[in-house]
Amino acid sequence: MLRYVLARLLTFIPTFIGVTIVSFGFIRVLPGDPIIVMAGERGLSEERYQEYVERFGFDQPLWKQFWDYLTGVLQGDLGQSFVTNRNVWDEFFTLFPATLELSLCAIIFSVLVGLPAGVIAAVYRGKFFDRALMSTALVGYSMPIFWWALLLIIVFSGNLGWTPVSGRIGLMYFFDDVTGFMLIDSLISGQEGAFWSAVQHLILPSIVLGTIPLAVIARQTRSAMLEVLSEDYIRTARAKGLRPARVNGLHALRNALIPVITVIGLSVGTLLAGAILTETIFSWPGIGKWMVDSIFRRDYPVVQGGLLLIALMVMIVNLTVDILYGLINPKIRKR
Amino acid sequence: MADASSQIARTVPTRRAGRLREFWKYFSENRGAVIGLYVFAAFAMVAIFADFLAPYDPTTQFRGSELIPPFWQEGGEWAFPLGTDAVGRDMLSRLIHGARFSFFVGIVVVVVAATGGILLGLIAGFAPKWLDTLIMRLMDIILAFPSLLLALVLVAILGPTLLNAMIAIALVLQPHYVRLTRASVINERTKDYVTAARVAGAGYLRTMFVTVLPNCLAPIIVQAALSFSTAILDAAALGFLGMGAQPPTPEWGTMLADAREFVLRAWWVVTFPGLAILVTVLAINLMGDGLRDALDPKLKRS
């Protein structure tokens, strides 16, 4: 087991360096002088220009620039935003809770709906229920979520007026940022209606972001359940006279969960890509919207830093999933 | 030797026809897949004959006919069956021309990503360990970034055009082909028929492309279908974010971006482009499922 973990960690290091090179290289392969491009129509005075050249280290040889960048990254220094002059690292972690909260709610939604849907489809294999659920899942899987978001806004915000169109909480509520999670902070603040407002703001974005994971989970659960249901021990459990609900829900589902959990773990990348679209549409102040805004503002230090941190996050989660999977399933370790 | 090869030449076509028939038997059992195939064929036809099918030019603006609803709604006109957008362009014509862009994106991305991916995968599968490791680590690096984000940043570097969006999407989709090809190559490489070919004197290139590659194609074909739909979705997403095709191009994602401000006023400018994306992607995914069932014996009838 230790060897498996070590081997997996060893592949992590070159990938980490590669990802750093990509984010380091990004600003340098841009056509034109990046400082001039970033300054845009505002232009720059000669002294300011020199100041930026020094700040980005463009006067140094390339290997030195990379070495400084790498050592900076390892110490949590990703440079400063060109627009706000704030530390990229700090900006990322101020906005990250918003994305985390949204992603967690999306995943909870997709598991709560997808798992039972998959189980039911497997149990009623080939019947009407199965067909209807799996067709719906395929529609969800094919959904352009930016359009789905607009449709939901038309129906629930426009026609019915149930949910707000954008933001994380109503404008009349003010409270301190304790945890960064709006649901928890609004409860702590004790203001009447604040929590409900936060929930209302979360519903549509969570559904939108959870749609594709929901479809994937439902499909994966169904196929994992089908595999397990044909095993001998399920026949034994049935033969013993256990109630079908107990056999399906307990004996089968527990064993079908392993691949399903893996799929959930590995959907972090999908979630973050989805967050870019979801946050942009709902003006959700998280890292997805931050990245898109920074790309449009040509705030390249932010794009560079955000790219690196997001890739690192995906890598760490994937590594954890892989190691956990190796723990549960000895067959994997032998490869 | 000549005798043996002519014999092979005689048996291969019949076997191929037989395989095709078997493939169609399995594929047509899946009703969804057949429907998907028909819808996809219709989509391809619309894309190819867009110039003849569209009633108007997709960029012509009809003054005084802005935001006309579809014909079945009050205020709708038969002249514009699906209504017009905010500057008076015919929705139907724009949607028909949009099919052309999506189809083009799908084809180009799949061809570029699959060609590059298969080549790299074959090399990784046959090459010495160090080269294999190098290629696979490079692919790991690409896969570490969420695909849409990487595509977005690449387009920011290259400049926001549809062509650059296609290049970016092809690049982020390519690692999947590399992994698939390499996995099947490694699986096939040690089999007897490959050893036999080597002993008979086949060179590296012949072994790679003629002996091994045809036997690795099944999962790659399935992946090609799936990435066709991913490419359409991603290109639309990039267009929607303003980093793909630029207005007034009638690309479906770009049309949606234009329509955003009318979300609560004119449902048709928002609904139809998205519906077009959904139906196309759904059809391709249905087809992909059918292909997988028909081509992959391990998953047959599951």
Is the Cβ of B242 closer than 8 Å to some Cβ of chain A? yes
A133 contacts B269 by C-beta, under 8 angstroms: no
Neighbours of B145 (CB within 10 A): 26
Average pLDDT over residues B33-37: 92
- Say yes or no: B260 contacts chain A, CB-CB below 8 A: yes
What pLDDT does B301 receive? 45
Read off the amino acid at residue B22: E
Question: Do A135 and A191 share a structural domain?
Answer: yes
pLDDT at B19: 77
Checking if the pLDDT of B262 tops 90, the result is no
Q: Are A12 and A319 in contact (CB under 8 A)?
A: yes
Using an 8 Å Cβ cutoff, are B281 and A144 in contact?
Answer: yes
Q: What residues of chain B lie within 8 A of the CB of A272, using their CB?
A: 146, 149
Task: Please say if the pLDDT value at position A326 is more than 80.
Answer: no
Is pLDDT at B297 greater than 90 in this prediction? no
Predicted confidence at residue B157, as pLDDT, reads 84
Chosen for mutation from B105, B132, B139, B149 (greatest number of chain A CBs closer than 10 Å) is B149
A161 & A28 share domain: no
Contact A110, A213 (CB under 8 A): yes
Q: Which DSSP string do the residues of B165-178 spell out, in sequence order?
A: HHHHHHHHHHHHHH
SS3 A191: coil
- Closest by Cα among B192, B193, B170, B189 to B181: B189
Nearest Cα to Cα of residue A298 among A38, A28, A83:
A38
Per-residue pLDDT band for A69 (boundaries 50, 70, 90) equals confident
Q: Is residue A304 one of the residues assigned to a domain? A: yes
CA–centroid distance for A13 within its chain: 22
Average pLDDT over residues A100-120: 93
A261 and A163 in one domain? yes
Residues A36 and A151 in one domain: no
Q: What is the number of other CB atoms lying within 10 angstroms of the CB of residue A298?
A: 17
- Does A278 reside within a domain? yes
Q: Which residues pair with B84 in a beta bridge?
A: B90
Is residue A103 situated within a structural domain?
Answer: yes
Assigned domain for A175 exists: yes
Residue A84: inside a domain: no
Q: What backbone torsions phi and psi does residue A80 show, to the nearest 5 degrees?
A: -115, 150
Compare A36 and A105 and report the one with higher pLDDT.
A105
What is the rounded CA–CA span in Å between residue B11 and residue B217?
A: 20
Question: Taking CB atoms and an 8 Å cutoff, what residues of chain B touch A138?
Answer: 32, 282, 285-286, 289
pLDDT band at A333 (very low <50, low <70, confident <90, very high): low
Q: What is the ipTM of this complex?
A: 0.87
CB spacing of A22 vs B152 below 8 angstroms: no
Query: What pairs with residue A87 in β-bridges?
Result: A80
Mutate to test the interface with B, among A19, A142, A302 (most CBs of B within 10 A): A142
Q: Cβ–Cβ of A150/B144 closer than 8 Å? A: no
Position B10 scores a pLDDT of 46
Which of chain A's residues have a Cβ under 8 Å away from the Cβ of B264?
A: 153-154, 157-158
pLDDT at B231 over 70: yes
Secondary structure (DSSP) of A211-263: HHHHHHHHHHHHHHHHHHHTSHHHHHHHHTT--HHHIIIIIIHHHHHHHHHHH
Q: What are B1-16's pLDDT values in tens digits?
A: 444 444 444 444 456 6
Token digits for A45? 């005075």
Within-domain flag for A5: no
Q: Of A13-22, B41-50, B61-70, which gets the smallest average pLDDT?
A: B61-70
Distance CA A253, CA B95 (A): 45
Q: Give the lowest-confidence range in A193-197, A249-253, B161-165.
A: A249-253
A160-218 residue pLDDT tens: 888 888 888 877 777 777 777 888 888 887 777 788 888 888 999 999 999 999 999 99
Q: Return the structure tokens found at A215.
A: 């479809």
Interface test with A, best of B134, B153, B173, B268 (most A CBs within 10 A): B153
Share of chain A above pLDDT 90, in %: 28
Q: Which two tokens stand for residue A112?
A: 């709560």
- Mean pLDDT is lowest, of A251-265, B116-130, B158-172, B240-254, for A251-265
Are A150 and B263 a contacting pair, CB within 8 Å?
Answer: yes
Convert A38-69 to b/e letters by CB count within 10 Å (16 or more is b). Answer: bbeeeeeeeeeeeebeeebbeeeeeeebbeeb
Report chain A's mean pLDDT, rounded to a whole number. Answer: 85
Output A287-291 pairs: Cβ under 8 A, ≥24 positions apart: A287/A92, A287/A95, A287/A96, A287/A98, A287/A99, A288/A99, A290/A91, A290/A92, A290/A95, A291/B149, A291/B152
Gap between the Cα atoms of B109 and B107, Å rounded? 6
Task: Based on the fold, state whether residues A145 and A194 are members of the same structural domain.
Answer: yes
Q: What is the mean pLDDT of residues B183-209?
A: 88
Name which residue leads in pLDDT, B187 or B280. Answer: B280
- Residue B261 has, within 13 A of its CA and on its CB side, a CA count of 5
Q: Counting Cβ atoms within 10 Å, is residue B182 exposed (0-12), middle (13-18) or buried (19+)?
A: buried
A58, A113: one domain = no
In sequence order, the 6+-apart residues with CB closer than 8 A to the CB of B223 are B114, B176, B177, B180
Handedness of CA B267, B273, B276, B281 (dihedral sign): negative
Contact yes or no for B84/B64 (Cβ under 8 A): no
More confident residue, A205 or B76: A205
Q: Could you tell me if A232 and A285 lie in one domain? A: yes
Cα–Cα distance measured from residue B97 to residue B47, given in angstroms and rounded to the nearest whole number: 7
Residues 6+ apart with CB under 8 A from B276: B95, B98, B99, B102, B252
User: Mean pLDDT across the stretch B99-116?
Assistant: 93
Q: Residue A3: pLDDT band by 50, 70, 90 thresholds?
A: confident
Task: Say whether pLDDT at B212 is over 50.
Answer: yes
Q: What CATH number does residue A131 fall under? A: 1.10.3720.10
Per-residue model confidence (pLDDT) at position B302: 40
More confident residue, A174 or B114: B114
Q: Cβ B277–A14 below 8 Å, yes or no?
A: no
Q: What is the mean pLDDT of residues B48-62?
A: 86
Number of structural domains in chain A: 2
- Band of pLDDT at residue A275, cut at 50, 70 and 90: very high
- In chain A, which residues have their Cβ closer than 8 Å to the Cβ of B289? 138
B231 vs B280: CA distance, rounded Å: 12
Share of chain B above pLDDT 70, in %: 92
Residues from chain A contacting residue B286 (CB–CB below 8 Å) = 138
pLDDT at residue A334, as a whole number: 55
- Res B79: pLDDT: 81
Q: Which of B107, B246, B255, B120 is nearest to B180 (CA)?
A: B120
Q: What is the pTM of this model?
A: 0.87
CA-CA distance, A325 to A329, in Å (whole number)? Answer: 6
Q: Is B90 helix (H, G, I), strand (E, B) or coil?
A: strand
How far apart are alpha carbons A12 and B144 in whole angstroms? 11
Other Cβ atoms within 10 Å of A309 Cβ, number = 19
Q: Does A210 lie in the same domain as A281?
A: yes
For residues B241-266, average pLDDT: 87
User: Is B154 within 8 Å of B164 (Cβ atoms)?
Assistant: yes
pLDDT for the residue numbered A24: 87
Provide mean pLDDT across the span A231-239: 84
To 5 degrees, how large is the angle CA B105–CA B172–CA B278?
45
Q: Dihedral of CA A19/A25/A29/A30: which sign?
A: positive
- The answer to whether A118 and A220 have CB atoms below 8 angstroms apart is yes
Residues A113 and A243 in one domain: yes
Tell me if A1 is assigned to some domain. Answer: no
Asked if residue A101 and residue A214 are part of one domain, the reply reads yes
Give ∠ CA B270-B276-B279 in degrees, rounded to 5: 130
Q: Give residue A260's Cα distance to chain centre.
A: 17
- A335 assigned to some structural domain: no
What average pLDDT does this structure show over A126-155?
91
Q: What does the angle CA A41 – CA A280 – CA A270 come to, to the nearest 5 degrees?
A: 120
- Could you list the residue range(s) of the whole structural domain that residue A194 is in? 89-328
Range B89-100 average pLDDT:
91
Q: List the one residue out of B299, B302, B291 whose CA is nearest residue B225.
A: B291
Closest-approach residue (CA) in chain A for B236: A144
* Strands (DSSP E) found in chain B: none
- Is the domain of A25 the same as that of A123? no
Determine which of A96-110, A144-158, A249-263, B149-163 has the lowest per-residue pLDDT on average: A249-263
pLDDT of residue B174: 94
Residue ranges and CATH numbers for the domains of chain B are: 32-299 (1.10.3720.10)
Angle separating helix axes B2-29 and B267-295, nearest 10 degrees: 130
List of E strands, A107-235? none
Distance CA(A323)–CA(B51), nearest Å, equals 55
Q: How far is CA A174 from the centre of its chain?
A: 27
Residues A48 and A102 in one domain: no
The mean per-residue pLDDT over the stretch B184-211 comes to 88
CB contact under 8 A, A150 and B147: no
pLDDT above 80 (res A9): yes
